[in-house]
Amino acid sequence: MKYFFNILPTLLVGAKMTIQLTAVSVLFGTIIGLFVGIARVSRNRLIRWLATAYVEVIRGTPLLVQLYIVYFGLVNVLDLGQYWSAILAFSINSGGYVAEIVRGGIQSIDKGQMEAARSLGMTYGQAMRYIILPQAVKRILPPLGNEFIILMKDSSLVSIIALEELTRKGQIILTRNYKAFETYGAVAIVYLVMTLALSQLVRYMERRLETE
């Protein structure tokens, strides 16, 4: 226990980076996913095909490989450094999953509402903006919370490129004392506390949305 509290300040510095990396990536991923998700239900066949291709490629390849492509593959074209390479890779990855969440939320709304909006003279874009999306948002918020939790755990992959988030901090501590079980056990505890806190927040949001 003494060892845990001795290394905790260092781990908390890494946890701060983990939370920051995850939050920024989910923010950008949500923006990407919103547009791609809408494109997935577009009436334009080309737009729908491009959006589907993006989602299938992202969901069909490992996040680690995507991170390698951004960090190592684009270094001669776009040298973003460790932090922004991680942000870009995670945002693109998150966008593919968020797109499916958005698509599912939109398609869960009764089709009659779109037809009713169009019969009132609204364009497709107006109906989507004012009628469909506001209702879909309530249904996609809880899955977005789960995406945040998943990406937070996946953020440990950036330790591969030496970005000093929580897992990397654990690796650095390990090189000083060689206490693998105690060190990674402490890292796991910090991850567990963060994910449990986020899970409770997601459940709270779900309860609030159910009462509205």
Residue 36 belongs to a domain with what CATH number?
A: 1.10.3720.10
Which tens digits make up the pLDDT trace of 151-177?
999 999 998 887 888 999 999 999 888
User: 136 is in which domain, residue-wise?
Assistant: 2-211
Cα–Cα distance, 60 to 76 (Å, whole number): 26
14-32 confidence digits (pLDDT tens): 999 999 999 999 999 999 9
Q: In sequence order, which residues have a C-beta less than 8 Å from that of residue 57 and are 6 or more positions away?
A: 96
Distance CA 93, CA 102 (A): 15
Q: What percent of the chain has pLDDT over 70?
A: 97
- Is the model's pLDDT at 51 over the cut of 90? yes
Distance CA 12, CA 117 (A): 51
pLDDT, one tens digit per residue, over 174-211 is: 988 888 999 999 999 999 999 999 888 888 877 776 66
pTM: 0.86
For 115-165, the pLDDT digits (tens) are: 777 787 787 777 877 788 777 877 788 788 888 888 999 999 998 887 888
Confirm if 17 and 6 have CB atoms less than 8 A apart: no
Q: Which amino acid is at 80?
A: L
Number of domains forming the structure of the chain: 1
Angle formed by the axes of helices 166-177 and 180-211, nearest 10°? 160
pLDDT of residue 18: 93
Rounded distance between C-alpha atoms, residue 44 and residue 111, angstroms: 18
Strand ranges, E, within 48-167: none
